[in-house]
Structure 1
Amino acid sequence: MGLLQRLFEGVAPTAAPEASNSLPTVRAESAPAVLFHDLSDPRIVELLRGELETAAGLHISVEQALKNPTVFRCLDLVCSAIAMLPLKLHRETPDGGTEVAADHPVHKLLRRRPNAWQTPFEFKGLMQYRALTHDKGAVAMIVRSRGLPVALLPLNPDRVQIEGEEFKPVYVYYRKSGGRVELRRDEVFHLRGLTFDGVNGISRVKKSAEAIAIALQAERATAALFKNGTFASGALKIPNELSPEAYERLKVSWNERHAGVGNAGSTPLLEGGAEYEAFAQTAKESQTVESRRFQVEEILRTFGVPRPLAMLDDTGWGTGIEQLSIGFVRFGLNPWFTAWQETIGRDLLTDAEDDHDAKFNPGALLNGTMKDQYEAFAKASGAGGHKPWMTANEIRKMLGFSAHPDGNGLMAPGAQPAPPAQDTETDEAADKLLTSRKPVETDDED
């Protein structure tokens, strides 16, 4: 039975037919045992709802975490950066260089169409998102034809269970319609970053659940303060004791006229000798701003994103920001580049294809200004007395231009480019055309 047939048609049930519509179960001998002390055990909520209970009083799931702007920004930044960069398959050439293996089916998956409904940008972004947010990492099924990979189908990690014996993992996918499909290791593309057991990945959302929960609670508290009239800005001093009826009337009247954001800045009208005493208290003094900023920084640390790239700093975009961006690529994205490249080599290439390697091109993220690029290319080609190490055609290829007939050699240090050859035949034809034409006579008007 083929892989797609197993996936979409399922396997014939071994038990009673009605059991096929029941919830998927995991064999006891393969599933990890979890011992619950009682029904109040917080791990029950995590198991049933896919959420993690935190000390801040919130149950954090991936969807809940995305409500925090910092989490959304970090995921969007990392996933979009990975998704936008070209990912090509290269092979070694006899002269020791490399060339793009454009005719290889893996290259077509990476650069053109990973499956029937996704672009490479969408596929890479989704896989990176799942690798960051799910404990199992990102899993895709490899569809092969005559032994060659022809499609990568992303699987919901919540429906994937990794079973099997030690050192021989078996991937089990539970279909929405019921039933389970076992996938061999060579039928799975499994992307993961840092791992504690060599099989599963690490969810950044779970590891930073407390920081995310505190940030969400602080945001809710701030929203409640604004809803009820921003912060407590003062108090009423009444010289005489109020009756319960007068107290209720004053409270209702005050809330109607001065509570809520819509009444901010309204002038109170006091009677009966009442006085309004303002508090010397601000949001900063109550440490609300500092608390929220600190939680933002905690979340940024989890995802490895610099403060300026999360729009946290008010400083301008100068040399310091540029260096932080370079550091983000080197230390935040490069590990994921390596994870992608080595996963492709392990899951999509054979031992006979050891001379093939998948490579990201981070140039789109590291390129400086046009002025900086042209100065670097000028030095690389030998201008200004520098020893050349790049030909003109190599530079033109990096810029996306076609090759020039005279651009394959290195220019001598300090030499000036040869002037373009004059087309004498064209010049002579142009002279004949101009001399054969009669001058146009015009009438001058006074």
Structure 2
Amino acid sequence: MWLFSLFKKSPPQNVAFSESFWQDLGVGGASSSGEHVTWKTALEVTTALRCGLVIADGVSTVPCKLMRKDPATGRRAPAFDHPLYELFDYEPNGWMDPLQFFETKTLHTVFTGNSYTFLNRVRGRIVEMIPLEPAGVRVERKDDYSLVYHVSAIDGSVEEFPQAAMWHLRGPSWNSWTGLDITRLSREALGLAMATQNAHAQRFANGLQTTGIYSVEGELVPDQYKRLKAWIDLHHVGARNSGKPLILDRKADWKPIDLSGVDAQHVETRKLQIEEVCRAYGVMPIMVGYSDKAATYASAEQMFLAHAVHTVRPWHRRFERSMKRSLLTREEVKAGYYFKFFDTELLRGAAKDRAEYYWKMFQMGMSPNDIFALEDQDGFEGGERHFVPSTMTTVENAAMPRGIGDNGDPSLESTVADDPSADDAPAAEDDGEAPKAPKSRMNAGLVLSAENEGRIRGARENLDAVLSKLEEQAE
């Protein structure tokens, strides 16, 4: 439900001369190629359509969660207790799931520079998020720099909404309050792509054979011209008539005209426009199914990685910052709430890279259960413990004082005893048992790292060398 009655209504406004009105009608701005380019016509260009879908897939298919970082402990966890968590995890409104919601908002922003979402609040709490078509929203900046949104309703009336009622996601912006219309700015590249596509289609519609001259003896009257043209159109024009023999009479002759240099480069021009359109939307050509002969498996893998880093990740960060500002209060931000896209989802297709990433994170302190959680798998009992690379001792032991072992057990000492005379203590009375080595020596090998052990051995060898020289001098 729109809940228009919650806000003050403004009188209906004439939006017939706004740019979005004409773009919505499909008129748009004319390019030098003669094609009128709008977001609707851009969607009919397969390269532009795929660019938008590739970006939308990268945003909508990556998990986005509302998280909370505990200010006291610094630990991060999903904010299950926050009302927004269910909206982003289950359904933002009554007819969309989160994937469809993010997909629609991304497509709006890619092709128009802006996406608008009405925030249905009940007692200050957001209970529903309704995406609006960009052509039906007009943004106005007041003298005090506040923004007001004029939304066209289904009945034709225009409702005015304050900034707090709208989640406005902007693309790259020049004036700071509306995003740049990338489709309009790249209309020349899109227009030429449309023109070459239409020209290619007309070539097939008018016949697969090369255009030529059909000549007959004598003069043809207008009725004969019409009958001859109708006969040719019926039997020799269009892809369905390709390959049919041409039957001539009255000593008629067919003289084909060779392709010109421009015609011969027609396909090359269409390939160039693929790169131009991809360049406008910031998508690598290989992501829309186009690659040159020089691309190899290794280079393609790096291109896919570059797409994840330089195309998808900036969109993730744009969404995160926008959601943080528009959907969370300052108090909630101070309490540690934030939105997060889990970019590691993009590495699921590369098992080797994913395993290497997890191993490095494990060495930096990530627990096994944290890794299982990223793979959407259950952990195991005791898997929440963290380790650091000091012969992989536990973080708890590394932080313990000297002489205290695992879980505070003094029997597992972390270092040699501080008392240097411990080894020289008098031996216990002989009760028939073999004398036991001092506890410090028994446990030293358990805790010494390979580096320290190597240093001790080196020092012992140097000491032996010095002692042997002293013995020689004494003799």
Question: Equivalent residue for 2:171?
Answer: 193
Structure 1 residues 317 and 8: alpha-carbon distance in aligned structure 2, compared to 1, 3 A threshold:
farther
Q: Which moved more, 1:254-263 or 1:140-149?
A: 254-263
Per-residue deviation, residues 64-83 of structure 1 (Å, max 9, x unmatched)? 22111112111111112211
Question: Equivalent residue for 1:401?
Answer: 377
TM-score normalised per structure 1: 0.75
**Aligned pairs (5 A) from 1:134-153:** 134-135=112-113, 137-153=114-130
Q: Is the aligned partner of 1:63 residue 2:52?
A: no
How well do the aligned residues superpose, as a CA RMSD in angstroms?
A: 3.4
Whole-Å separation in 1 of the counterparts to 2:232 and 2:2: 68
Structure 1 residues 275 and 413: alpha-carbon distance in aligned structure 2, compared to 1, 3 A threshold:
farther
Whole-Å separation in 2 of the counterparts to 1:48 and 1:397: 45
Question: Equivalent residue for 1:335?
Answer: 314
Q: Are the equivalent residues in 2 in contact too, given 1:337–1:360 (CA < 8 A)?
A: yes
2:286 is aligned, of 288, 294, 308, to 308
Q: Are the equivalent residues in 1 in contact too, given 2:7–2:160 (CA < 8 A)?
A: no
Q: Is the aligned partner of 1:344 residue 2:323?
A: yes
The secondary structure found in structure 1 opposite 2:107 is helix
**Aligned pairs (5 A) from 1:426-441:** none
Whole-Å separation in 2 of the counterparts to 1:377 and 1:70: 36
Deviation at 1:289, TM superposition (A): 0.6
Whole-Å separation in 2 of the counterparts to 1:249 and 1:228: 17
The secondary structure found in structure 2 opposite 1:337 is helix
Deviation at 1:234, TM superposition (A): 5.4
1:157 is aligned, of 120, 128, 134, to 134
**Which one-letter code corresponds to 1:320 in the other structure?**
S
2:14 is aligned, of 12, 25, 29, to 25
**Which one-letter code corresponds to 2:220 in the other structure?**
P
Structure 1 residues 389 and 62: alpha-carbon distance in aligned structure 2, compared to 1, 3 A threshold:
same
Per-residue deviation, residues 294-319 of structure 1 (Å, max 9, x unmatched)? 22211111111111111112667722
Identity of aligned residues (%): 25
Structure 1 gaps, min length 5:
14-19, 35-42, 382-386, 417-446
**Which one-letter code corresponds to 1:364 in the other structure?**
E
Q: Are the equivalent residues in 1 in contact too, given 2:152–2:159 (CA < 8 A)?
A: yes
Structure 1 residues 12 and 399: alpha-carbon distance in aligned structure 2, compared to 1, 3 A threshold:
closer
**Which one-letter code corresponds to 2:13 in the other structure?**
P
**Which one-letter code corresponds to 1:165 in the other structure?**
D
Whole-Å separation in 2 of the counterparts to 1:371 and 1:414: 24
1:318 is aligned, of 285, 297, 308, to 297
**Which one-letter code corresponds to 2:343 in the other structure?**
P
Q: Are the equivalent residues in 1 in contact too, given 2:8–2:160 (CA < 8 A)?
A: no
Q: Are the equivalent residues in 2 in contact too, given 1:62–1:205 (CA < 8 A)?
A: yes
Deviation at 1:130, TM superposition (A): 1.3
Question: Equivalent residue for 2:243?
Answer: 265
Q: Are the equivalent residues in 2 in contact too, given 1:284–1:290 (CA < 8 A)?
A: no
Deviation at 1:208, TM superposition (A): 1.7
Deviation at 1:280, TM superposition (A): 5.2
Q: Is the aligned partner of 1:357 residue 2:338?
A: yes
Deviation at 1:118, TM superposition (A): 1.4
Whole-Å separation in 2 of the counterparts to 1:141 and 1:249: 61
Per-residue deviation, residues 76-118 of structure 1 (Å, max 9, x unmatched)? 1111221111111111123323221121112222222211221
Per-residue deviation, residues 39-84 of structure 1 (Å, max 9, x unmatched)? xxxx899478463231322322222221111121111111122111
1:374 is aligned, of 355, 361, 379, to 355
When Rg is computed on C-alpha atoms for both structures, the one with the higher figure is 2
The secondary structure found in structure 2 opposite 1:24 is coil
Structure 2 gaps, min length 5:
394-475
Whole-Å separation in 2 of the counterparts to 1:380 and 1:334: 20
Whole-Å separation in 1 of the counterparts to 2:344 and 2:90: 20
Structure 1 residues 248 and 188: alpha-carbon distance in aligned structure 2, compared to 1, 3 A threshold:
closer
Q: Are the equivalent residues in 2 in contact too, given 1:393–1:403 (CA < 8 A)?
A: yes
Question: Equivalent residue for 1:203?
Answer: 181
The secondary structure found in structure 2 opposite 1:149 is strand
Whole-Å separation in 1 of the counterparts to 2:46 and 2:99: 23
Whole-Å separation in 2 of the counterparts to 1:95 and 1:415: 24
Question: Equivalent residue for 2:50?
Answer: 73
Question: Equivalent residue for 2:199?
Answer: 221
Q: Are the equivalent residues in 1 in contact too, given 2:20–2:135 (CA < 8 A)?
A: no
Structure 1 residues 169 and 364: alpha-carbon distance in aligned structure 2, compared to 1, 3 A threshold:
same
Q: Which moved more, 1:324-333 or 1:91-100?
A: 91-100
Deviation at 1:375, TM superposition (A): 4.5
Deviation at 1:415, TM superposition (A): 7.0
Per-residue deviation, residues 117-161 of structure 1 (Å, max 9, x unmatched)? 2111111111111112225x1111212233222221222322222
Question: Equivalent residue for 2:162?
Answer: 184
Per-residue deviation, residues 230-261 of structure 1 (Å, max 9, x unmatched)? 252655687xx533268877766655554332
Question: Equivalent residue for 1:83?
Answer: 60
Q: Are the equivalent residues in 2 in contact too, given 1:10–1:179 (CA < 8 A)?
A: no
Q: Is the aligned partner of 1:391 residue 2:372?
A: no
**Which one-letter code corresponds to 2:346 in the other structure?**
L
Question: Equivalent residue for 2:30?
Answer: 54
